[in-house]
Homo-oligomer: A and B are copies of this chain.
Amino acid sequence: MSAHPRLSLNQATIKHASLADAIAATKAAGISSIGLWREPVAAVGLDEAARQLADSGLRFSSLCRGGFLTATDATARRAAIDENRRAIDETATLAAAGAEGSVAALVLVVGGVPEGSRDLIGARSRVADALTELAPHAEASGVQLAIEPLHPMYVSDRAVVSTLGQALDLARPFPASVVGVVVDSFHVFWDPAVLEQIERAGAEGRIASYQVCDWKTPLPADVLLARHYPGDGVVDFATLTQAVERAGYTGDIEVEIFNADVWATDWTEAAIRTAASFDAAVTPHLPAVVPA
């Protein structure tokens, strides 16, 4: 079995799998790249995780996630910066352990409005300040900080960055190799400016990752778990994927699904289903793969 060569399985899609099980499921589905999360990496320790990744022969497409940079309290703020420095180090180690074509990208979910605050504008400016603090360490480590705009329904409790344009504005002071953006179909498909901002992201060389999953309504009771396999909802993957391709992105494309039903599936089955949905909904809009 062989999946599309640019497909990467983001580990969140099989959230309850250990790192070893996630790697096994990814390989069993013929997928050649994996996006990791910090928690399952920490569960086995970074060195062991890097060893498992190296042994797997898989590419590493990103680490999720840094961020949560909006605290007002000085101690909490310092702790967040330190945590992100560790995440940068982990990203560098894992990218070095992955197969050729691995990418040292740390996905940043920037954080919401602190409890009791209504100051969205202030929270955003603290994100900008934190990027300035983190950028030198990222640059020295060869890691790209990848700002992920999240759907505006998460603005108050998860990410005060809601659009690709806003993420690019935040990235502007930094070299593209140090601060990029994530284009996640679920989070940005609704944006009337999405196509021009994808073009801009490409022109600036800042597309760190293209992630695909689908949107459909009604939303589940927990809106964090509202994502679906590509093709199961209303996202126009033709238009988005072609825009990302035209923008010059040639890297891995992650499928990242938060969905209780998907999480309840056998991991290998979920990985196989991921590859099949990708082939049906995304592959037709990618350049033809020339057999090796």
| B contact residues around A165 at 8 Å (CB) | 192
A189 at the interface (CB under 8 A from B): yes
Q: Is the beta-carbon distance between A124 and B215 smaller than 8 angstroms? A: no
Most chain B beta carbons < 10 A, residue from A119, A120, A223, A234? A234
Q: Which of A4-12, A153-161, A199-207, A263-271 contacts B (4 or more CB under 8 A)?
A: A153-161
Task: Please report the C-alpha to C-alpha distance between residue A218 and residue B236 in the assembled complex, in whole angstroms.
Answer: 28
Q: A236's contact among B119, B216, B234, B235, by CB below 8 Å, is which?
A: B119
Interface status of A289 (Cβ within 8 A of chain B): no
Within 8 Å CB of A166, what residues of B?
192
B219 & A153 in contact (Cβ 8 Å cutoff): yes
> How far, in whole Å, are A151 and B234 apart by their CA atoms in the complex?
17
Question: Contacts A113-B234, A118-B234, A236-B120: A155 and B221 contacting too (C-beta < 8 A)?
Answer: no
Instruction: Count the copies.
Output: 2
User: Is B151 a contact of A192 with CB atoms below 8 Å?
Assistant: no
A216-B115 Cα distance, complex, nearest whole Å: 11
- Is residue A190 within 8 Å, beta carbon to beta carbon, of the partner chain? yes
A217 contacts which chain B residues (CB < 8 A)?
156-157
Q: Which residues of B contact A163 (CB under 8 A)?
A: 192
A242 an interface residue at 8 Å Cβ cutoff?
no
A120, B190: Cβ atoms closer than 8 Å: yes
A192 touches B234 (CB 8 A): no
B215 lies within 8 A of A156 (CB): yes
> A190 near B118 (CB under 8 angstroms)?
no
Q: Which residues of B contact A177 (CB under 8 A)?
A: none
Give the nearest-CB partner of A216 in chain B.
B156
A234: contacting residue among B156, B191, B221, CB under 8 A: B156
Task: Determine the distance from Cα of A22 to Cα of B165 in the docked complex, in whole angstroms.
Answer: 43
Given contacts A121-B236, A156-B190, A157-B218, 12 further A-B contacts (CB under 8 A): A117-B234, A120-B190, A120-B236, A124-B192, A152-B153, A153-B153, A153-B219, A153-B223, A155-B190, A162-B191, A163-B192, A218-B222
Give the top 9 A-B pairs by smallest Cβ distance, nearest first: A155-B190, A153-B153, A152-B190, A221-B221, A118-B236, A166-B192, A157-B217, A156-B234, A152-B152
- Can you name 8 A-B residue pairings with CB atoms under 8 Å? A118-B234, A152-B152, A152-B153, A156-B233, A157-B217, A166-B192, A218-B222, A218-B223
